[in-house]
Amino acid sequence: MSVVQNIMEEVKKRNPGEAEFHQAVEEVLISLEPVIEKHPEYVESGILDRLVEPERQIMFRVPWVDDKGNVQVNRGFRVQFNSAIGPYKGGLRFHPSVYLGIIKFLGFEQIFKNSLTGLPIGGGKGGSDFDPKGKSDNEIMRFCQSFMTELYRHIGQDIDVPAGDIGVGAREIGYLFGQYKKIRNGYEGGVLTGKGLTYGGSLARKQATGFGLIYFVREMLAANNDSFKDKTVVISGAGNVAIYACEKAKEYGANVVAMCDSKGYIYDKNGVNLDTVKQIKEVERKRISEYVKHHPEAEYHEGQKGIWSIKCDIALPCATQNDIHVEHAKQLIANGTKIVGEGANMPCTNDALNLFLENDILVAPAKAANAGGVATSALEMSQNSMRLSWTFEEVNSKLDAIMVNIFKAADEAAKEFGMEGNYVAGANIAGFKKVADAMMAQGIV
């Protein structure tokens, strides 16, 4: 058995039932094979064995009282995966599908993503199986306060810095920060990112992941003498990442014709009206099906998966993991899609990813392409430390420069190992090498 196969066997044995975690580890390890061959010292120092084992995993009870006076109990998680290059950093996800395997897959991916940003941040992730949908503001607040009442003892601006993810936006970060500040009796702005602008948040953080995705894809297109102009784009999701990817793609002259939420998708051949989507999802917190009430010429279809049957040049999965399976990949390829840009984390199954690569579809991998969010979170931490705030333009231009550098790093690593154009492998290799070298330098810890 090869080194990678051995480690995979161990990962499956030691982490039973955590399918998403196995998938994420396998995808990375396979692409690292040529690196390991060239650098046997990584294997001899147990870098891979250590990398797949989180430094610390915390699970805790989150009790809270709903509006009817009933006691509810959820489960909270924080996985502190790797601190070789900086404090643990990664978002919190509140969604009923959350369990340890999801948090571990996200935390594992975060190590490489954070490394790719070039900024000093380690990898971590957290969340809860709490479902914010249908809850009142007061219920959300009580849940966040209870969650932080345990989490506070494990985090800190030099230890572990959480942010948002699915189900955790500015509202939730505000409640979490308020509780942290109360318990700690002091303002430590850098302990959470994605904060509101009135209390230490960064301009452009809200837009950063979606904009960053488009900057990365812009670079990938440019390397192939192409651009967004007049391209037909389909985006899954209608949350934070999807909305701002849509905004920047439209700005670059693309026609975004479809978006979705978990219940169904809209198709508007004239181009999705983003103001309407923002009103429905960001302000009213309603379903995307409302869109056709404002735009009767558009179509709404129940079920989210049908979105991948729409003909497009560029597909941007920005909803959740394992959104695109092999059958959807086949549909996209048959319809002439040339580019897939991963806004969500692990939105393609490994089989779908391989099919894209075999068919010369250019793939912008999540670890690189959606790193703009965490990069801008790190810029928020810098502003908090310096006690000043940069303008939108300053933050946005730093974000753009970071995405250009990430693209270059993935491109160069792919070329160095004879896989030109395979940005999936390139991103994994470039992200891995920095962490591995830092771990080597720090001894067996």
Residue ranges in contact with ligand NDP by CB under 6 A: 164-167, 209, 237-242, 261-263, 304, 318-320, 343-345, 370, 373
- Nearest-CA neighbor of 271 among 324, 328, 316, 232? 232
Beta-sheet pairing, 264-267 with 255-260: antiparallel
Give 102 or 425: the residue with its C-beta nearer to ligand NDP: 102
Give 128 or 240: the residue with its C-beta nearer to ligand NDP: 240
Give 241 or 436: the residue with its C-beta nearer to ligand NDP: 241
- Nearest-CA neighbor of 357 among 314, 311, 420, 292? 420
The CB-of-39 to ligand NDP minimum distance in angstroms stands at 29
The CB-of-440 to ligand NDP minimum distance in angstroms stands at 28
Please list, in sequence order, all residues whose beta carbon lies within 8 angstroms of the beta carbon of residue 444, skipping any fewer than 6 positions away.
45, 46, 50
Give 45 or 279: the residue with its C-beta nearer to ligand NDP: 279
Give 47 or 323: the residue with its C-beta nearer to ligand NDP: 323
The CB-of-304 to ligand NDP minimum distance in angstroms stands at 5
The CB-of-50 to ligand NDP minimum distance in angstroms stands at 25
Give 146 or 345: the residue with its C-beta nearer to ligand NDP: 345
The CB-of-388 to ligand NDP minimum distance in angstroms stands at 23
Positions marked active-site? 125
> Minimal CB distance to ligand NDP: which residue?
239
Give 243 or 312: the residue with its C-beta nearer to ligand NDP: 243
The CB-of-104 to ligand NDP minimum distance in angstroms stands at 14
The CB-of-31 to ligand NDP minimum distance in angstroms stands at 20
